[in-house]
Amino acid sequence: MNIIEPKNLHLCGPNYHMNRKLFFILVSFLAISVAKAQKSDLLVKSSDKGLYLEHKVARGESFYALGRKYNVSAKQLAVYNKLDLNKGLLIDQKLRIPLTDSNFTQQNGSGTPVYYKAGDKDGLATISNKTSATVANLRWWNELSSDEVKKDSKLIIGFLLSKEMPVITIKNKPVIDELPPSLTEKEKEEEKKQAEAELKAEKKEEKKDPPPVVIEERKPLSQGSGYFKNDFDQQIRITPVSKEETVTSGIFKTTSGWIDAKYYLLIDKVAPGTIVKIINPSNNKSIYAKVLGQMAGIRQNEGYNIRISNAGVSALEITEQDKFIVKVNY
């Protein structure tokens, strides 16, 4: 029997130290890869223009490469970030990626998941109001059985539509989709405390002159009456206008309209999909908006007849952020 000496195993001498060094380099590389994988979730952010993603530019990335990755045109990406398309990008530069009807959906369960990181006081109702995702879909996508959400948990609030990103499909879609419900008891209590605190602050300040109000001018990139005007013209050929009302309106936030001029509204007793003409009586500006759903049964809608998407309100050149008067025809 031949006995193999330890020196033949190459466990000693220069080879041993070389192998050990390579081993630690490999372990370090894997650790870095895992860390990067853990940061790969698409986390949604919000601004006055709607929902967006934030991307940190890596070496070799351009407007066109990122446009293909996130399914948005290079020109649209440059305009959204107020950058010159011809000047290129810098390494580690942070870009905002707009989420619009063309690259983002909250209607089905397929695509690249986009996540919302829950705060300390977030429930499904508040997350729904912040992201426009319905509570029913939030439960479906995240397999939730209640409206309670743990702090720092990541919830799917929609899906990026891209051919260059990993895709998942969530099955077992619920039969009934719903609008956001009223606030939970915990959220009502927090809202009450906040209102009381604001009332006390107002009493302290009532003797002082209010500071000047500076309103930031926000306008959609696409001007005019909006994407749905031709649909309205076809609609009234079949069913002439029968309602003309002056109503009290508020705002709801959505990703749509800032670029494509697709405006939406919530209104009772009007079938979803109906196109409504909305007029600002103070300047006669008008837009055409599609009905998404109803107002009734939601506590936040008390005192309002309709709610208009924020891009639509901007197109009407309305500066009030709470309540305002408009005319509707449909």
**Mean pLDDT over the full length of the chain:** 81
Measure the CA–CA gap between 253 and 189, rounded to whole angstroms: 24
- Which CATH number is 229-329 given? 2.40.40.10
Among the listed ranges 32-36, 44-48, 76-80, 167-171, which one has the minimum average pLDDT value? 32-36
Per the listing, tokens 């991307």 go with: 55
Measure the CA–CA gap between 97 and 310, rounded to whole angstroms: 19
First to last CA, the chain: 98
Among the listed ranges 82-86, 201-205, 259-263, which one has the minimum average pLDDT value? 201-205
Distances, alpha carbon 261 to alpha carbons 6, 101, 228, 286, in Å: 76, 11, 8, 12
In one letter, which amino acid is 109? G
Give the residue-averaged pLDDT of 241-269: 88
Cβ-based neighbour number of residue 131 at 10 Å:
22
pLDDT(10) > 70: no
Same fold, 45-169 and 229-329: no
The number of CA neighbours under 13 Å toward the Cβ of 1 is 3
What are the residue boundaries of the structural domains of the chain, listed by start?
A: 45-169, 229-329
Q: Encoding tokens for residue 20?
A: 């050990």
pTM of the model: 0.47
pLDDT(44) > 70: yes
Give the residue-averaged pLDDT of 108-120: 93
Q: Encoding tokens for residue 10?
A: 């190459």
pLDDT(238) > 70: yes
pLDDT computed for residue 197 by the predictor: 75
pLDDT(53) > 50: yes
Beta partners for 307?
A: 250, 266
Are residues 47 and 137 in contact, defined by beta-carbon separation less than 8 angstroms? no
**CATH superfamily assigned to domain 45-169:** LysM domain (3.10.350.10)
